[in-house]
Structure 1
Amino acid sequence: MNLFSQTKPKIDPAKVQEIKALIYQRFNLSPEVHVSISQSSCTEANCPPIETAIVIMSHPARTYKIQKPVAEIESADISRLLLAKL
C-alpha cells in the first residue's frame, strides 16, 4: 500500500474546452491570454472532495476556484466568477 500515491480525477478534454470557451467569452479575453484549468483532490476537513482551479494568465494573473469537479461546472458557475472579479 502506497500512502503517498493519489489517484488523479479524470478530466474530459471536451469539457475543459467548453469551460475555456465560456471563460474567454465571459471575461472578454484575447486569444493570446492563456487559461489553465486543473482539478485536484482534497482530503482535509471542510474541503470538497474535488475542486477546480482556473488561472487566467493575464497581467496580473487571476486565480479562481470552483468547489466542484470539472464535469459538474456549468455556465452559471463561470458567470459567478465575474461577480467575484468585481
Structure 2
Amino acid sequence: MNEALDRLLGRSNRPDSARADRAGEIADLVHTTLGLDQQAAVTVQELACAEPGCPPIETKIAVLGATPRRWTIHAPLSEVDDETVRQTLTDNPDGENTPR
C-alpha cells in the first residue's frame, strides 16, 4: 500500500512532528479557551472516520476528568485553525457528550 493510504488507515509508523506540534498547540488553546487548570488532561487526535458522509480524516478533542467532554472537527489537524477551535468550544462548552 502507499504511504498516504497507510497514514489514512492509521498504519504509519513514521512520527509526524508537525502534527504533534499542532496537537500540542490545540491542547494549549483548549486550556486557555475553557479556562482549564494546566494539570487538566486534554487530548487531541487525528483519526480516520468511517461513518457515512464523514470526511476521511477528523480531529477529536477531549478533556478528560470526572466529567469528560469531547468535540469533533471534521478536518485534519493541519487544516484546523485556532478560530475554528475557539468557536467549537464556545458554541458547545459542555462538549458533544451524548448518552449511549
**TM-score, reference length from structure 1:** 0.80
Unaligned runs of 5+ in 1: none
Specify which of 33, 37, 44 is matched with residue 40 of structure 2.
33
Which AA in structure 1 matches 2:90?
L
Partners of 2:19 and 2:35 in 1: CA distance? 24
Which AA in structure 1 matches 2:40?
V
CA offset at residue 46 of structure 1? 0.6
Cα contact 2:23–2:45 (8 A) shared by 1: no
Larger mean CA deviation between 37-46 and 57-66 belongs to 37-46
Cα contact 2:34–2:93 (8 A) shared by 1: no
**TM-score, reference length from structure 2:** 0.70
Are positions 1:82 and 2:82 aligned together?
Answer: no
CA offset at residue 26 of structure 1? 0.7
CA offset at residue 42 of structure 1? 2.0
Report the equivalent of 2:55: 48
RMSD, matched Cα: 2.2
Q: Which has the larger share of strand?
A: 1
Unaligned runs of 5+ in 2: 95-100
CA offset at residue 64 of structure 1? 0.6
Partners of 2:38 and 2:82 in 1: CA distance? 20
